Structures are given as C-alpha cells and as structure tokens.
Structure 1
Amino acid sequence: MAAYDPFRELDRFASTLFDTRRGPRRMPMDLYRDGDHYVLTADLPGIDPGSVDIDVDGQLLTIRAERTLAGGEGVKWITREREAASFLRQLNLGQGVDTGNIAATYSNGVLNVTIPVSEKAKPRKIEVSSDSSSPVIQAHEGSDAPQPVEQ
C-alpha cells in the first residue's frame, strides 16, 4: 500500500484549480446499431437539458453541453469537488445515415441520440427475373472464362 503524500494531493488540487488550458471535456459514450438505427448514449450527469446542443453539419454530428454550478451570494462552501464544465463530442456519421431524422432525449443524466439508417443504406433483396430470350452462358473448350452463346 502506498503512503499518503499530502503534497501530491495538494499539487493535484492546485493543477486542477489553476489549469486554464483545460478545454471542453469528453463525455463517455456508447454507440451501437439496433436494426435500422444507431443508438448513441452519453453520460452527462448534472447537466441542464437546456444547455445540450446537438447539430449536424454535413456528416459531422456535434454534441455540446454545459454544467453550471449554483452558488448564490453569501454561500460559504465547506467543500466543492464538482466543477462547472463544458463537454464536447464530435462524430463523423458517414454516408449511410438519415441526418434529417436524428432524435435525442435526456433522462437521468444520460443523453440518448437515435440516428436512423438511410433507406438507400438498408439491406434489401434484389429480385432475379427470368427471361427466355437471354443468352445462355456456357464454357467453351480451351477457355477458363464463360462465354455467351446465342441460341
């Protein structure tokens, strides 16, 4: 077991407090396909749903959110470990999604984004028709490739 080092903890706290280079934080997320749509779930605890901003620019999906902390005038903090923060996540959607019908909900600190697969990207059966006037394919002697033969 490692010995407790109060200076390491103080250094960690100071770097957290005074680190102005920190930009938006990444939010942990899961992404999976369920039938004809993709489902993205992202953890955003303590976020005001009104601060969540989701937009699509071409095939780039951007999710932004802000966590602000209440602290009225005259409040004397005993401890304050939670931070106000900005969250950012961007995803390249590719060509097979219907960007016009993306939907999102936020409940219990989890953002759910449903991204439908576009109609043209969905698997489909190709019907094979038969026409008696089509050429018959037969292999000729001395040739590895099949050649059409007129009947």
Structure 2
Amino acid sequence: MSRRRREDFAILRSGPVIADPGARRSIAIMSWVARFTVPLTACCVSAVALVGAWIAPAPANADDSGFMKYLNSHGYTARYAGDEPISEPSVRALGHMICENLRVGRSVAVQAPNYPAWPQFTLIAEAAQHELCPGL
C-alpha cells in the first residue's frame, strides 16, 4: 500500500479531521452535556405527558346501551310511520348519524325533514344528544 493511501486510511479510521486542537475539547464537553440532557429531557417530557393525562378529563364515550335505555324510558315505540318495526341496529345507526350531522353544524331542526318515515325522530335525536354525543 502506498504511503498516501495509508495516510488516507489512517484519517478515515481516526474519525473526523479537526483543524483546531481546542475543538476536540469542546466536542468532548458537548458530548458530556448531550449525554446528561437527553435523558433528563426525556424524563421531563414523560412526566409532563403523565401529568397531562391524569389532569385532562376523559372524553365522553358513545353509549349504545344508554341510548336504547333512554329511548325505552321515554316512550319509544320502535315503529316506522307505516307501523313496520324498526330494528335496534337501525335506530343506533340513526343516532350516530344524528351526532355526525350535529358535529358538522346541522341542527336537529334541519335534519328532521329528511326523515319523514321516523315519526319519533325528535325523541331519537334527544336520546342521541344525551347518550351518544353529550358534548354537542
């Protein structure tokens, strides 16, 4: 191997070339600071996240069984306008659809004309607001 190639190899093996001899000391100090602050920062971020999760209130969850209990306790008949029975999954789906429409700004009064086959639409909407999307 030629002398020039050995020097190149030695430079690659020894790490970065530093023109200023005092710079090596500043890199060593920076490494010490980084080794100290990175775990400290990670610990603080974890602590803040834990405290935030503990303090923040839990969001209200959609409660399908509470929705159906509300309807049944308020005189819900589970019948379409033509007196055909309405299945429970259909009523729950309508309740969730009402909530989605409320989230995008459509009031119950605006939604009601779109459901003429549901004679108890206002009761279903009331139950949805109480049980499925209480924050709206």
TM-score range, shorter chain: under 0.3
TM-score, normalised on structure 2?
0.25
Higher relative contact order (CA 8 A, sep 6+): 2
Question: Which has the greater radius of gyration?
Answer: 2
Q: Which has the higher strand share?
A: 1
TM-score, normalised on structure 1?
0.24
